[in-house]
Amino acid sequence: MTESVLLAFSLTLMAGLSTGIGSVLAFFSSATNTKFLSFALGFSAGVMIYVSFVEILIKAQDALISAMGDEKLGNWMTVAGFFGGIVLIALIDRFIPKQGNPHEVKKIEDMNPKSKAPANDASLLKMGTFTALAITIHNFPEGIATFTSALQDPGLGIAIAVAVAIHNIPEGIAVSVPVYFATRDKKKAFKLSFLSGLSEPVGAIAAYLLLLPYLTDMMFGIIFAAVAGIMVFISLDELLPAAKRYDEAHLSIYGLIAGMGVMAISLLMFM
């Protein structure tokens, strides 16, 4: 059990800290690779959507039917858990201040030192801080999802961790750009971006301390159904719209299909 917990926590930590990768890319690249980000975000969405419907929701359904001893009730509980996860993540999105929306696409070019924007711009600094706060709140349930998935099925956990890590990279850019733009301080921008990703391992710790002791079939089924809902919402509300805002709509769909294909092959190989 100890090794599986350590693996699950390590995967969640890796996924969360990839916001720092986005920040580093922003500092050491002269231009945004929109083709790569569009394909990668689509790929991440494909992995999340496919694994949610084909693997996670099925596991949740089996666990809930077994726990309740009634197929009909188990199916109803699965649907309730799925849409409950969607409502949870939608409410988090709804109450995040608009100026800190982490879904707002930022590009590395926005940090061009030749820009006329003044340093110590309070409004931009506020935007970056709000974005970091929004991502921190948003990443907490993702940490729970990644941790519980990896704990139940390491292969599944790796796939979800990679998908979450990919989608955290542009979020790191979204924090770094306005903070650096306002302060011209790369260290401050990186620090805020890096710290915003720490809520994912914090979510993993919360899952370990609060959920693991009560992880019966019923609890597991409800959590997994909610995780599927969270993943689908993130894909449809964040990843695909963000990918298209990089002006590479077709590439995002190609990435989506590639992500589904890779996930399908992975599941078949490890069945």
The pLDDT tens digits for 172-190 are 777 777 677 677 777 888 8
Q: Is 55 annotated as a binding-site member?
A: no
Q: Which two tokens stand for residue 33?
A: 């690779």
Helices (H), the chain: 2-28, 34-51, 57-68, 71-94, 122-152, 154-183, 186-196, 199-206, 217-234, 240-245, 249-269
Inform me whether the pLDDT recorded for 30 exceeds 70.
Answer: no
Share of residues in the chain with pLDDT > 70 (%): 79
pLDDT at 266: 77
Would the annotation count 104 as a binding residue? no
Does 167 appear as a known binding residue? yes
pLDDT for 115 equals: 46
252 or 239, greater pLDDT: 252
Is residue 251 over pLDDT 90? Answer: no
Cβ partners under 8 Å of residue 110, min gap 6: 177, 181
Q: Regarding predicted confidence, which is higher, 26 or 115?
A: 26
Range with lowest mean pLDDT among 58-62, 108-112, 206-210:
108-112
Question: Residue 249's pLDDT is what?
Answer: 66
- pLDDT band for 169, please (50, 70, 90 cuts): confident
Q: Is the pLDDT of residue 199 over 70?
A: yes
From residue 127, alpha-carbon distances to 19, 43, 168, 179 in Å are 17, 28, 18, 8
Mean pLDDT (whole number) for 219-233: 88
In 113-153, where does DSSP find H-type helix?
122-152
71 is in an annotated binding site: no
- Checking if the pLDDT of 117 tops 50, the result is no
**Mean pLDDT score across all residues of the chain:** 78
Residue 3 in marked binding region: no
Break the chain into its structural domains and give their ranges: 2-28+47-269
Greater pLDDT, 133 or 48 = 48
User: What's the confidence (pLDDT) of residue 113?
Assistant: 46
**Counting Cβ atoms within 10 Å, is residue 52 exposed (0-12), middle (13-18) or buried (19+)?**
buried
**Is 103 marked as binding a ligand?**
no
The predicted structure's pLDDT at residue 100: 47
For 61-112, how does the pLDDT look when each residue is reduced to its tens digit (9 = 90+)?
Answer: 999 999 998 999 999 999 999 999 999 888 877 776 554 444 455 554 454 4
